[in-house]
Structure 1
Amino acid sequence: MTLKRRIFLIFSFSSLVPFLSIFVISYYTIDSIFDNKIKSGIQSNLRQVELSLGDSLSNLNHVSQQLAYGGTIGKQLDEVLHQPKDATYQLMQSRDQLKKELNVITFTNPSIDLTMYYFRDEGKIDFENFPVRDDFSPDKLPLLAEYYGISYYGPHVSMNQVNDKVVLSALRKVDLPDRDDVYVYMETGFLTTQNILNNDQYGGALSHLILDGKGRIAYSEVPEIFSNGAEFPDFTKGEATGNFRGYHWFKQTSNQDWSVVSVISQANYNKEKDRWLLQILVVFLFFLCVTLLLAWLLWKMVYRPLNLFHSEIKWMSQSRLMADHHVQTKIPEFDYLLGKFWGMKEQLRNLFTEIERKEKNRVDLEVEKLLYQINPHFLMNTLDTVHWLAVMNGQDEIDRLVQSLNKLLYYNLGKLGEVSTIEEEIDALKQYLTLQQVRYDFQFDVRIDVEENVLKLPVPRFILQPLVENSLYHGLSDDGYIQVGVRLDNDIQISIQDNGSGMSEETIRELLNSRTVEQKKVGMGIGMNYVKRMLEARYENKAKLEIKSEVGKGTSILLSLPIAGEGD
């Protein structure tokens, strides 16, 4: 997975997971809260509708009692019914009086609208306060409840000719001595019932049903789903809530055994929750866009420096180490790393330049080395010819000199620093001393004491000759001596002592640190400084070289070398 994808994934995960967790928890919490709120709201509204309808029916019951039982109105109605038909004046007077009483009752009860007496056997009406529809028949009205001599109907369209609103009505039998077919019929005011049913806190989303005591639908505001006269689903189960054909319903049963049902569609029921969910989704999309934008900005912030690193490394891989213009990322951490990278590139460029220069010098030195190797080999061949001439002519001294020189030259042809043995070093030292004795024409008193068990031990080449040279060229007189001792004591102990004129401390420092002091005095010597540097290179700090000298008394050199395998 690329860095870009990882940044987007990690940033999105770290930003969206907490939000999604809060969203899921909030969703179920808010869903529960909304659900309880909607249910409690609908049930509260339903109880209010049920109480209002109950109050209206109780008012119908109360008013109808005044018109149905004994009293002034009852007596007047009885008088009207028993007036002889020929007593026209008295009949009109009784009727007028009864109408006045009826008008007083209806006027004092503004919630009552149409009021009249109904004579069932004759099928006629009388004393109505409003014109009545021709198709009036109590049997056609939706019966809501019936008990104690009173029947409640509705809601239904008013029987008032001038009113087509939905009303509640009641039909009560009038208690007359000699007739049992007289009933009082009255309706609620058309605004009363409408206001009760329109008591909706959900902006018209609620519809209402009214059920009779047997569960039949007496009134329905959604007849396409719950038709009038049909049985309400699951009524016998006595449940207060349920679902039917995509509708939620909530039922409230009155004390008179009739029920009011509030019905709301699934879409309207979830409308508020869906609106809240939509708002949450909008916020989620906003956070997602912000998260992706921040991830993109973070990627750009990282990508530009990485692209610079990639370009620099690509140029380095193509051996392009020339200085470039330094582009700044304006991010301190990346600028610091780029600065270090450019510094490293500058060091590599300088290193390559130094290697090229040294390689050129090495080639020159190889050519020069070949030239120097040709001359010694030619000289050795010439000395070999001189040796045979000296033998043929009986020149023993010359022969001894030439042989020593030839052996020494052969030994000198080996590379400086190569491994030799104590035995080879002692033999080369003897050849060197032979040549020096012939050269200066006097015998050196050189005493060599070497233990047998160290002869085959490996040591660096030219380890003894420079030390003995130092004794020869620093004040050794004719009666002087040089004592060379080699022994084994945990490591190789080499000691060189003389009784010459000695050296000062300053001279010792020059011998150890200068490359030119001895070369000015010695033709074949390679100097004390070589010994010191060779020991440092081969043995690091495990070899020791000590020089002790007193002016006029001599010099003592002690060399301690680790045995091969310990110092390497």
Structure 2
Amino acid sequence: MTLRRRIFLIFSVSSLVPFLSIFIISNYTIDQIFDNKIKSGINSNLRQVELSLGNSISNLNHVSQQLAYGNNIVKQIDEVLFQTMDPYTRLHTRDQLKNELNMVTFTNPNVGLTFYYIQNENKIQFENFPVEDNLALDSLPLLSSYYDITYFGPHESLSRSDDGIVLSALRKVGLPDRDNVYVYIETGFSLTQDILDNNEYGGDLTHLILDGNGRIAYSEVPETFKSGAQFPQFSMDEGSGLHEGYYWFKQTSNQNWSVVSVISKTNYNKEKDQWMVKIFFIALIFIALTILLAWLLWQMVYKPLNLFNSEIKFMSQNRMRPQHKLTKIPEFDYLLRQFSEMKKQIWNLFEEVELKEKKRIDLEVEKLLYQINPHFLMNTLDTVHWLAVINGQKEIDRLVKSLNKLLYYNLGKLGQVSTIEEEIDALKQYLVLQQIRYDFEFDVRIDVDKNVLKQPVPRFILQPLVENSLYHGLSDDGYIEVSVVLDKVIRISIHDNGAGMTEETIQEILNNRTVEHKKVGMGIGMNYVKRMLEASYENKASLEIKSEIGKGTSIFLTLPISKEKT
């Protein structure tokens, strides 16, 4: 793991763990507080609604008792509806009855529509407001029923002048010998709706009203809790629960009917979610601040480390660099100054080593040159001697000319740069001497790209490679191919179809620095070429030998193109 990742990880963990612990504890605490607050608010509001509805029903019970059992009112109803009397007396009695009925409803402002209902005749009498034409008391939502009174849950008023939601009661009138007369009473205008709309909790509450058997008599959420359906998880006890995305809370009255407050899960958690969003944004700000501080801490460490890295990289590339910038951090600045002093000492050591190495390479190359030239010179002079004995002046003159040219080129100043053209010409002179020496026409095929002739190369690198092919089993029908092409680099290839060499022999030729060989010049020239390439091109040039016993040898030489002009 990198230093940056470790800094970010350690700093993040040390900062976030306490915060996350506080966040989890706060979240749990807030959740409990809001749960208690919400449940307490809803239950408090529910009790208030249940109490108000209970009072309204009690008031209906009280008024209905006056209208159904009052001695004077019951007597007048019996006389007007069922007794025989003269028209004047009947009209007078009816007026007195209406006055008494008006007095009862006037002294009870929470009472709305009131009328008497003769069941077998489906007839309405003494209504205080106009009643709808299609009267159907049997369709009203039953809330509870006792021996002489029936209560109906919230429903639309039967009055034509009011379409609000009301509670109502139907009580049998205590007439002697008659059981088909009832008094119907509704709560006052908007009273029931105001009770149901009462919301001290403040959330989006809706209500259900259940009868004593758990049937839904009234529903403000008909898509989930349908009127007339059985309420889920019903019991007579107070309670709460969750059904199809709605939380519900139930309060049961003394008359066994129940009020249920219903709130959607979304609204139930709305205030809590708002707090959680605030906490989440605070957490994001805290995390961003933590990351920013970790980044600043990393920058304090990264910039000095980057300076060290840059210094080391420049030093490894042998490149000079101006005086480093200070980091304004004393500890790192001290290390940078120490590193700068160390770098100066290393540069001095590099210069000393390079100078010594250059001198050593020059001496070794020069030594190799002087090892090669005497061997060649002695062999050639020996050939001249025998030619002078056997042949005439013409052949000797030809031999001496080639020898002079070749010696002049080969004995040139150490380190002097040559060209491909000069190397090819020296190679041809060398082949002339060898052909005269061995009295044999060597089949040497030379193919040189004209574009490469003027390219500068180290002196005396081509002849030792061809000499190696001549000395390694070139037969009478053998040949040597020399190719020089220019392809972004100078590619020189020398191929023969001679006896070939083993890998062990190849390695010996390339790496053996001694001159203990059976054949003259063998190994000395190849080693010279290898060392000269190292001295001139460092690692930019390559020398490769491929050989197969019985099939021949191929030498590949790759040289970089030099910008130096000769």
Task: Please give the range of the TM-score, normalised by the shorter of the 2 chains.
Answer: 0.5 to 0.7
Name the structure 2 match of 1:31: 31
Report the alpha carbon displacement of residue 352 of structure 1 after superposing the two structures with TM: 8.1
1 CA distance for matches of 2:170 and 2:32?
46
2 CA distance for matches of 1:315 and 1:40?
74
TM-score (norm 2): 0.59
Report the alpha carbon displacement of residue 202 of structure 1 after superposing the two structures with TM: 5.4
1:110 and 1:70, CA in 2 relative to 1: closer, same or farther beyond 3 A?
A: closer
Please say if residues 168 and 184 of structure 2, whose CA atoms lie closer than 8 Å, have aligned partners that are also in contact.
yes
Q: Deviations over 1:268-287 (max 9, x none)?
A: 22222222222222222222
TM-score (norm 1): 0.58
Q: Deviations over 1:345-376 (max 9, x none)?
A: 456668889x89xx9xxx9xxxxxxxxxxxxx
Name the structure 1 match of 2:440: none
Q: Deviations over 1:157-176 (max 9, x none)?
A: 11011111110001111112
The one-letter code of the counterpart of 1:119 is I
Name the structure 2 match of 1:3: 3
The one-letter code of the counterpart of 2:198 is N
Please say if residues 203 and 267 of structure 2, whose CA atoms lie closer than 8 Å, have aligned partners that are also in contact.
no
The one-letter code of the counterpart of 1:206 is L
1:31 and 1:265, CA in 2 relative to 1: closer, same or farther beyond 3 A?
A: same
Name the structure 2 match of 1:252: 251
2 CA distance for matches of 1:332 and 1:75?
113
Name the structure 2 match of 1:107: 106
1 CA distance for matches of 2:13 and 2:306?
26
Please say if residues 236 and 256 of structure 2, whose CA atoms lie closer than 8 Å, have aligned partners that are also in contact.
no
Cα RMSD (Å) of the superposition? 2.8
1 CA distance for matches of 2:281 and 2:189?
46
Give the secondary structure class of the aligned counterpart of 2:169: strand
1 CA distance for matches of 2:73 and 2:25?
68
1:77 and 1:204, CA in 2 relative to 1: closer, same or farther beyond 3 A?
A: farther
Is residue 76 of structure 1 aligned with residue 72 of structure 2?
Answer: no
Q: Deviations over 1:316-372 (max 9, x none)?
A: 44566x78334122333323332343344456668889x89xx9xxx9xxxxxxxxx
Name the structure 1 match of 2:325: 327
Equivalent pairs, count: 358
The one-letter code of the counterpart of 1:13 is V
The one-letter code of the counterpart of 1:336 is Y
Name the structure 2 match of 1:188: 187
Is residue 154 of structure 1 aligned with residue 188 of structure 2?
Answer: no
Give the secondary structure class of the aligned counterpart of 1:310: helix
2 CA distance for matches of 1:48 and 1:237?
19
Is residue 19 of structure 1 aligned with residue 19 of structure 2?
Answer: yes
Please say if residues 323 and 346 of structure 1, whose CA atoms lie closer than 8 Å, have aligned partners that are also in contact.
no
1 CA distance for matches of 2:54 and 2:32?
32
Please say if residues 236 and 252 of structure 2, whose CA atoms lie closer than 8 Å, have aligned partners that are also in contact.
no
1:40 and 1:202, CA in 2 relative to 1: closer, same or farther beyond 3 A?
A: closer
Give the secondary structure class of the aligned counterpart of 1:243: strand
Structure 1 unmatched ranges of 5 or more: 364-568
Name the structure 2 match of 1:507: none
Is residue 123 of structure 1 aligned with residue 128 of structure 2?
Answer: no
Please say if residues 238 and 251 of structure 2, whose CA atoms lie closer than 8 Å, have aligned partners that are also in contact.
no
1:204 and 1:89, CA in 2 relative to 1: closer, same or farther beyond 3 A?
A: farther
Q: Deviations over 1:64-111 (max 9, x none)?
A: 1111113333333233235536x2222222222221222222122111
1 CA distance for matches of 2:321 and 2:149?
111
Report the alpha carbon displacement of residue 190 of structure 1 after superposing the two structures with TM: 3.0
1 CA distance for matches of 2:123 and 2:298?
92
1 CA distance for matches of 2:250 and 2:325?
78
The one-letter code of the counterpart of 1:69 is Y
Report the alpha carbon displacement of residue 305 of structure 1 after superposing the two structures with TM: 1.2
1:217 and 1:323, CA in 2 relative to 1: closer, same or farther beyond 3 A?
A: closer
The one-letter code of the counterpart of 2:204 is A
Name the structure 2 match of 1:198: 197
Report the alpha carbon displacement of residue 182 of structure 1 after superposing the two structures with TM: 1.7
Q: Which structure would you say has the larger Rg?
A: 1
Give the secondary structure class of the aligned counterpart of 2:190: helix
Name the structure 2 match of 1:276: 275
The one-letter code of the counterpart of 2:227 is N
2 CA distance for matches of 1:91 and 1:295?
100
Please say if residues 83 and 91 of structure 1, whose CA atoms lie closer than 8 Å, have aligned partners that are also in contact.
no
Name the structure 1 match of 2:372: none
The one-letter code of the counterpart of 2:104 is I
1 CA distance for matches of 2:78 and 2:163?
32
Report the alpha carbon displacement of residue 129 of structure 1 after superposing the two structures with TM: 0.6
Please say if residues 83 and 90 of structure 1, whose CA atoms lie closer than 8 Å, have aligned partners that are also in contact.
no
Aligned pairs for 1:163-174 (under 5 A) are 163-174=162-173
Give the secondary structure class of the aligned counterpart of 1:172: strand
1:285 and 1:233, CA in 2 relative to 1: closer, same or farther beyond 3 A?
A: same
Is residue 303 of structure 1 aligned with residue 265 of structure 2?
Answer: no
1 CA distance for matches of 2:276 and 2:209?
34
Report the alpha carbon displacement of residue 193 of structure 1 after superposing the two structures with TM: 0.4
Report the alpha carbon displacement of residue 315 of structure 1 after superposing the two structures with TM: 3.4
1 CA distance for matches of 2:156 and 2:226?
16
Give the secondary structure class of the aligned counterpart of 1:5: helix
Aligned pairs for 1:306-317 (under 5 A) are 306-317=305-316
1:339 and 1:243, CA in 2 relative to 1: closer, same or farther beyond 3 A?
A: same
2 CA distance for matches of 1:109 and 1:238?
33
Deviates more, 1:53-62 or 1:242-251: 242-251
1 CA distance for matches of 2:97 and 2:167?
24
2 CA distance for matches of 1:176 and 1:189?
27
Please say if residues 73 and 98 of structure 1, whose CA atoms lie closer than 8 Å, have aligned partners that are also in contact.
yes
1:198 and 1:204, CA in 2 relative to 1: closer, same or farther beyond 3 A?
A: farther
Please say if residues 165 and 193 of structure 2, whose CA atoms lie closer than 8 Å, have aligned partners that are also in contact.
yes
The one-letter code of the counterpart of 2:337 is G
Q: Deviations over 1:196-231 (max 9, x none)?
A: 111234556222111111111111111221111111
The one-letter code of the counterpart of 1:247 is Y
Please say if residues 118 and 126 of structure 1, whose CA atoms lie closer than 8 Å, have aligned partners that are also in contact.
yes
Give the secondary structure class of the aligned counterpart of 1:131: coil
2 CA distance for matches of 1:225 and 1:46?
20
1:45 and 1:187, CA in 2 relative to 1: closer, same or farther beyond 3 A?
A: same
1:331 and 1:89, CA in 2 relative to 1: closer, same or farther beyond 3 A?
A: farther
Name the structure 1 match of 2:89: 90
Percent of aligned pairs sharing the same letter:
67
The one-letter code of the counterpart of 1:303 is Y
1 CA distance for matches of 2:235 and 2:317?
91
Aligned pairs for 1:356-505 (under 5 A) are none
1:323 and 1:165, CA in 2 relative to 1: closer, same or farther beyond 3 A?
A: closer
Q: Deviations over 1:106-145 (max 9, x none)?
A: 1221111111111112211111110011222322211111
